[in-house]
Amino acid sequence: MILKSNRLGARALVGTALLSACIALAGTASAQTKAPAAAAPKPAAGAPAAPAADPAANDNKVVLQAAQADWTKVCGKDEAAGKEVCYTTRDFGQAPDQPPVLAMAVYDVKGDDKRMLRLLMPVALMLKPGFRYSIDALAPREGAFAICFPNGCFAESEMGGDVVKSLKGGKTLNVTVRNQVGNEVVFTLPLEGFGKAFDGAAIDPKVLQQQQEQLQKNLEDAAKKKREELEKGGAAAPAPTPPAK
């Protein structure tokens, strides 16, 4: 997989829930029913890029909303480390009928004090500066990009229990990156429900796969409906009046 076993989530599960963002970003991916399995996202054409902010502006805020009804917790055994690994995840997009552009997951390895925040970010971001994230008005923390694929980049940051506690009680996660022209872009994600899911029971991976398949179907249906509306509107448009002779 993309990470090493000396880091949280390494060789552990990126899993089906976080890969749901890959499915939406790529238009195709294979979600596996075994939680510990982790497949790299497949290449995709037309993957969403980070917003290109106005060069005259200092930042560009992108307000995201949840693309799923609830946060999802998945657990499985990391065979390499011999430990149980759980992650709590959710996908986010700019509108309910649009593919997610960002996914968030918090990994918790049983017996370890540190947790890992992992984000699946859009392409066309500057990687060297890494990213910053803050919970509500708390001081920002830093993270780094781990690896990129044509349909997205994984970014991560280690967290202690105090940060997880802040996530549980927080309202908004602000993720700051730099886009392709060097300007800051701030993604804001709602945190409501995270704490309940993090402390709650894990979902059956088979049920999770069904949910992701339904989400993908809903996105495809919405895209088809919009395409049909556009085609219908074009057909109903009046013919242009010929120029007077």
pLDDT tens digit string along 177-201? 999 899 999 999 999 999 999 999 9
What is the structure's pLDDT at 120? 96
CATH no., domain 15-41+51-220 = 2.60.40.1880
Q: Which of 36-45, 92-101, 114-123, 155-164 has the lowest mean pLDDT?
A: 36-45
- pLDDT, tens digit, for every residue of 97-130? 778 889 999 999 988 888 999 999 999 899 999 9
Tell me the residue length of the chain. Answer: 245
Please state the pTM of the whole predicted model: 0.67
Buried b (16+ CB within 10 A) or exposed e, 119-134: bbbbbebbbeebbbbb
| Amino acid in position 56 | A
Torsion angle (degrees, nearest 10) of CA 40, 85, 146, 195: 110
Tokens representing 225? 């409906």
CA dist., res. 141 & res. 156, Å (int): 11
